[in-house]
């Protein structure tokens, strides 16, 4: 399925540092769109009854998520939900947006068959708390996809060229690497909660130039 993004004139940045324009520039657009496509490929076509995006930002991914679910929900810490809702209405899409953060998601246990969270974990220092919340809202048999930048010379150079501080993208509160910690947390979660455990998808090739690691989670 071909990735479809909202028209640039119909979508607004959620904050001053929102990298929205990079999705539409010729060179960076390929990189940024590719990472969305990778996340969607891990998520799968569904269909999901209820699907949640944690950190929906400008809403750029919500139209694609709406193609995969009967109900789409989004949560973010910013207060600019109205422009996103306006963009969705212009595209004939219904979604329920709420304000909240990943440490205290405003949803009941087991609410979603699918959860996707891209470009959020790199800004966190308490990954265990965040993972616990994702596990909590994920329904038995559900699938969660988490994406974050890998750390290497290529991505460091890319972030510097784009005007970002790599120390903010990879804060010191992530000892041992996020992917390793998420994988360890996945195994522990599966042992404690077999019906709602997280299972890493192994063997996924992720080109280093894309600056994205992916984890697909679900039950056995």
pLDDT band for position 126 (cuts 50, 70, 90) = confident
The phi-psi region of residue 69 (left if phi > 0; otherwise alpha if psi is between -120 and 50; otherwise beta) is beta
> What pTM did the predictor assign?
0.76
> In this structure, is residue 1 part of a structural domain?
no
CATH of the domain at 155: 3.40.50.150
> In this structure, is residue 154 part of a structural domain?
yes
The pLDDT value recorded for residue 128 is: 86
- For the cut 50, the answer to whether the pLDDT of residue 9 exceeds it is yes
Average pLDDT for 84-104 = 95
How wide is the angle at C-alpha 158 spanned by C-alphas 65 and 207, nearest 5°?
60
Give per-residue pLDDT as tens, 133-189. Answer: 998 999 998 999 888 766 655 555 655 665 655 555 444 444 445 555 555 444 433
DSSP, residue by residue, 43-58? H-S--EEEEEEES-TT
Measure Cα distances from 38 to 41, 61, 107, 171 in Å: 5, 12, 26, 24
- For the cut 70, the answer to whether the pLDDT of residue 22 exceeds it is yes
The pLDDT value recorded for residue 73 is: 98
- The total of structural domains in the chain comes to 1
> In this structure, is residue 43 part of a structural domain?
yes
Residue 119's CB: how many other CB atoms inside 10 A?
19
> In this structure, is residue 2 part of a structural domain?
no
Average pLDDT, the chain: 76
pLDDT band for position 50 (cuts 50, 70, 90) = very high
146 has which bridge partners?
117, 215
Q: Which has the minimum average pLDDT: 27-36, 45-54, 131-140, 182-191? A: 182-191
Q: Which has the minimum average pLDDT: 20-29, 106-115, 168-177, 198-207? A: 198-207
CA–CA dist 57, 172 (Å, integer): 24
Is-contact 142 115, C-beta < 8 A? yes
- Give the residue numbers spanning the domain of 75: 8-217
> In this structure, is residue 3 part of a structural domain?
no
CA–CA dist 118, 213 (Å, integer): 10
Q: Is 189 exposed, middle or buried (0-12, 13-18, 19+ CB in 10 A)?
A: buried
> In this structure, is residue 78 part of a structural domain?
yes
The pLDDT value recorded for residue 116 is: 94
């Amino acid at each position: 399925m071909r990735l479809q993004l909202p028209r640039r004139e119909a979508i607004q940045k959620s904050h001053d540092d929102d990298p929205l324009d990079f999705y539409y520039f010729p060179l960076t657009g390929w990189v940024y769109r590719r990472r969305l496509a990778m996340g969607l490929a891990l998520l799968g076509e569904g269909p999901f009854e209820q699907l949640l995006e944690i950190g929906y930002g400008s809403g750029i991914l919500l139209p694609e998520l709406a193609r995969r679910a009967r109900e789409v929900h989004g949560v973010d810490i910013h207060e600019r939900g109205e422009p996103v809702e306006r963009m969705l209405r212009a595209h004939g899409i219904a979604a329920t947006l709420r304000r909240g953060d990943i440490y205290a998601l405003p949803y009941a246990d087991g609410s979603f068959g699918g959860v996707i969270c891209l470009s959020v974990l790199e800004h966190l220092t308490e990954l265990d708390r965040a993972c616990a919340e994702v596990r909590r809202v994920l329904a038995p048999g559900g699938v969660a996809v988490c994406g974050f930048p890998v750390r290497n010379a290529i991505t460091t150079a890319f972030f510097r060229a784009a005007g970002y501080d790599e120390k903010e993208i990879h804060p010191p509160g992530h000892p041992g690497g996020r992917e390793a910690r998420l994988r360890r947390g996945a195994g522990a979660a599966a042992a404690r909660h077999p019906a709602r455990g997280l299972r890493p998808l192994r063997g996924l090739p992720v080109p280093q130039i894309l600056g994205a690691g992916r984890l697909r989670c679900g039950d056995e």
